[in-house]
Amino acid sequence: MRRILITGGCGFIGANFIRLELQADPELAIVNVDKLTYAGNLANLADVRHNSRYQFMRGDICDRELIGSLLQPGDISAVINFAAETHVDRSIQDSSPFVRTNVVGTQTLLDCCRKFGVARYLQVSTDEVYGSLGDNGKFTEETPLAPNSPYSASKAAADLLVRSYFQTFGFPAVITRCSNNYGPFQFPEKLIPLFIANAMRDQSLPVYGTGLNVRDWIHVGDHCRGIALAWRNGRSGEVYNFGGNSELTNLELTGQLLKALGKPQSLIKFVPDRPGHDHRYAIDISKAQRELGWSPHMTFEAGLRETVAWYLSNSEWLAGVMSGEYHKYYEQQYGPQG
């Protein structure tokens, strides 16, 4: 039985990936290391906690002794790094945790993987490292990195570290970059779950600026399938982009959410724009299609219906994650825009 190490597996994408892989591969065992910060939630994996092929350990990816102890037995064949601080608004307020986790944490993982001979490392990144697009064109894997927020800068720095380890040491690493994810178990500081939660309580939905910033949306299940293919079949040293071919302005998305929830458009509230707000993201997925045989399966319309239904059916989970630091933080913030 193969064993892999997942970092940040109690977060939104990591938890969905673990669930997918445990279902898809009966010969796979997973060790999940998560620091359990505000967005990491053990409840996200409550349905697999008694699975004999799943092991959880609370820990920090910056802890070299811990990571080394997990890799030292020599039976971990791959490390997939989901662990990251990810919220742009928080990075604008204080970039320190982003540099520590996203950059220093990645360096720690790379060093430990090299030391103990891990055969494959996958870095989960974001299209935000490419910066902002105009009204035309799409990001490809060859697009120069031009991050515009402290968050995206920290992710770009991590990507460059991974690239350097491949170039310098021949380290077997792959990088994946995706557009905006949505789906079940997403922490409600991100646009879709926040707006669902607000609309359910008849509270305003804060839309930055004019609401005309454009994002491409990918269902988390499609993203996780892409990561699984890149981990197994991707070429070392390569980057693979994953997108949903679903571009919408933030205003269009907000309107669709309100319609799906049966709430009035009058709940939209325009607020001052985020500093350095990227205008548009769009992903060219042709390389992933060509080399990995991947393409998105979920249409945005179907995915949004499914996502809204999930949050409506899991109000206890939503109330639980919103009862802590979320309230304190968003009393002074306008809210996210993807």
Of residues 155, 41, 133, the one with CA closest to residue 87: 155
What is the rounded CA–CA span in Å between residue 184 and residue 220?
Answer: 8
- Interval 117-167: pLDDT, tens: 999 999 999 999 999 999 999 999 999 999 999 999 999 999 999 999 999
Q: Per DSSP, which regions of the chain are E strands?
A: 2-7, 28-34, 54-58, 76-81, 120-126, 173-178, 180-182, 205-208, 214-219, 239-242, 247-249, 268-271
- Token look-up 């981990």 returns 231
Question: Which positions ≥6 away from 307 have C-beta within 8 Å?
Answer: 182, 183, 184, 192, 196, 219
| CA distances from residue 197 to 138, 163, 221, 287, 310 in whole angstroms, order as listed | 32, 39, 21, 36, 12
Buried-exposed string 110-144: b where 16+ CB fall within 10 A, e elsewhere: bebbbebebebbbbbbbbbbbbbbeeeebbebebe
Question: Which positions ≥6 away from 146 have C-beta within 8 Å?
Answer: 130, 131, 132
Please provide residue 36's backbone torsions phi and psi, each rounded to the nearest 5 degrees.
60, 55
What is the secondary structure of 133-192 as a DSSP string? --SS--B-TTSPP---SHHHHHHHHHHHHHHHHHHHH---EEEEEE-EEESTT--TTSHH
What is the rounded CA–CA span in Å between residue 335 and residue 253?
Answer: 15
Residue ranges in the chain modelled with pLDDT below 70: 324-338
pLDDT at position 24: 96
Catalytic residues: 127-128, 151
pLDDT at position 324: 57
Contact 48, 18 (CB under 8 A): yes
pTM confidence score: 0.94
DSSP 74: S
pLDDT at position 328: 41
pLDDT at position 270: 97
- Domains in the chain (CATH in brackets) are 2-181+218-242 (3.40.50.720), 184-215+246-277+298-324 (3.90.25.10)
pLDDT at position 320: 86
pLDDT at position 338: 42
* Tokens (6 digits) for 40: 């990491």
